[in-house]
């Protein structure tokens, strides 16, 4: 897996169901993308949940993984827990394809609404979600707290699916 520049043609991107053997790759990507990356154990726990909707974005031979989406469905709702795309693959439609894949999987599970939370400063992600039909439905004040930095609000977004 390359963190900076893909050595693959992203026109041939595939979305695949994530399996437990990919937990180390997903955990590495998560740690590289987020200040408080999830551990391999956390990823494994998410992947083994009965309502898990987990996908990876891959391309090339051998397949390189450049993005992931982790979500859970319960009853008629689903929630995106985390979605990420490595820097060299960003702004090339990978996040949008992952989001579309999660939406399709959530619909198949019976969900009618999809939720997520995003840091208020993450303008690129907010633009992606709004373009995909998400609307702000709430805020969680000071949700993202980091040592030595002012806590940041989480924007709660949802869309009907």
Q: Give strand pairing partners of 130.
A: none
Q: How far is residue 31's CA from residue 152's CA, in Å, rounded to a whole number?
A: 19
Task: List active site positions.
Answer: 117, 129
CB distance 84 to 102 below 8 Å: no
Q: Give strand pairing partners of 89.
A: none
Helix (H) or strand (E) holding 46: helix 40-48
Write the CB contacts of 24 (distance below 8 Å, at least 6 apart in sequence). Answer: 40
**What Å distances lie between residue 90 and 25, 70, 87, CA to CA?**
17, 17, 5
Strands 77-85 and 113-119: parallel
């Amino acid at each position: 897996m390359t963190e900076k520049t893909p050595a693959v043609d992203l026109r041939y991107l595939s979305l695949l169901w994530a399996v437990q053997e990919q937990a180390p790759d997903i955990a590495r990507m998560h740690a590289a993308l987020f200040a408080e990356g999830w551990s391999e154990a956390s990823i494994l726990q998410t992947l083994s949940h009965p309502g898990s909707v987990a996908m990876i974005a891959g391309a090339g031979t051998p397949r390189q993984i450049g993005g992931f989406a982790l979500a859970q469905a319960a009853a008629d709702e689903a929630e995106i827990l985390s979605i990420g795309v490595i820097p060299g693959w960003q702004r090339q439609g990978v996040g949008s394809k992952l989001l579309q894949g999660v939406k399709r999987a959530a619909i198949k599970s019976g969900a009618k609404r999809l939720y997520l939370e995003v840091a208020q400063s993450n303008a690129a992600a907010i633009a992606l979600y709004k373009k995909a039909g998400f609307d702000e439905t709430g805020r969680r004040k000071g949700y993202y707290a980091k040592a030595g930095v002012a806590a940041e609000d989480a924007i709660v977004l949802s869309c009907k699916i």
